[in-house]
Amino acid sequence: MAALNGKIALVTGAGRGIGRQVALRLARDGAFIIVHYGASRDRAEAVVAEIEAAGGQGFTAGGDLAEPDAATLLFAAVDAGLQARNRAGIDILVNNAGIGLQRDVTGITPEEFDRVFAINVRAPLFIAQEAARRMGEGGRIINISSIVGENAFGGYFVGYGATKAALNYMTVSMAASLGPRGITVNAVAPGATATEFVGDMMQHAEIVERLKAETALRAIGDPHDIASAVALIASPDSKWITGEVIRASGGAQL
């Protein structure tokens, strides 16, 4: 019996990269998956098709997370999609969607700052708020953070890193608030992971070797590695783990 049979999971930004692998893994573990997308509906529908081809179930729900009412609009689509399939509620939320921004204090603009905080901080907070309203005991909220929220990396991620530090704090605060209801809240913080998110960085051998050398396991992460960590926290066996920021980095910068 799959560990997540009967559970409904919403994964934001699930059309590619880590989000895609998380959606596929939770579906493999038995969950019904809502695949959120921001701009690429085709990619999201391809993920649902892959889930269904493997015997799972799910549907897509779109929404621009930069919009002030993003959470309200997203859950209107989520609720309607579930109702059409005689389902209701959310058991697992994976706040994965986010954008990167490589700027230092001398280069970041107010417009860039506002956008990265809207998508990486405001959206996860209010999506979690809406999800929590629909969750019962045993619910799981999992925020995808980053080790950049803890390390300066030369100061080149002043805005992006600040969003992940904020997400880490929100994780602990949410855990304290929702714990009495039996809902756990944790964050998974990847290190360098081979996805489109990091752009063409993985095409430069010297950068790859430097990143490997800074990691205890001497390797670059794969989206499957992060999905496995998320699946562990989503499982019933994690009921005693809450308020944690779990580094899924292969031991980066120990």
CA nearest 248: which of 234, 224, 139?
A: 224
Distance CA 56, CA 28 (A): 7
* 38 half-sphere exposure, CB direction, 13 A CA radius: 17
- The CA distances from residue 57 to 10, 26, 40, 50, 131, in Å, are 12, 11, 20, 10, 20
Q: Establish whether 160 is a catalytic residue.
A: yes
The helix or strand, by DSSP H or E, that contains position 187, with its residue range, turns out to be strand 184-190
50, amino acid identity? E
The 8-class DSSP code of residue 215 comes to B
- The CA distances from residue 228 to 25, 113, 193, 205, 239, in Å, are 7, 31, 13, 27, 17
H-helix segments, 179-214:
205-213
155, with CB counted inside 10 A (0-12, 13-18, 19+), is exposed
20-52 in b/e burial notation, b at 16+ Cβ within 10 A?
Answer: bbbbbbbbbbbbbbbbbbbeeeebbebbbebbe
Distance CA 38, CA 14 (A): 9
- 37, 156, 160, 169: the catalytic one is 160
Cβ proximity of 189 and 225 under 8 Å: no
Residues that are catalytic: 160
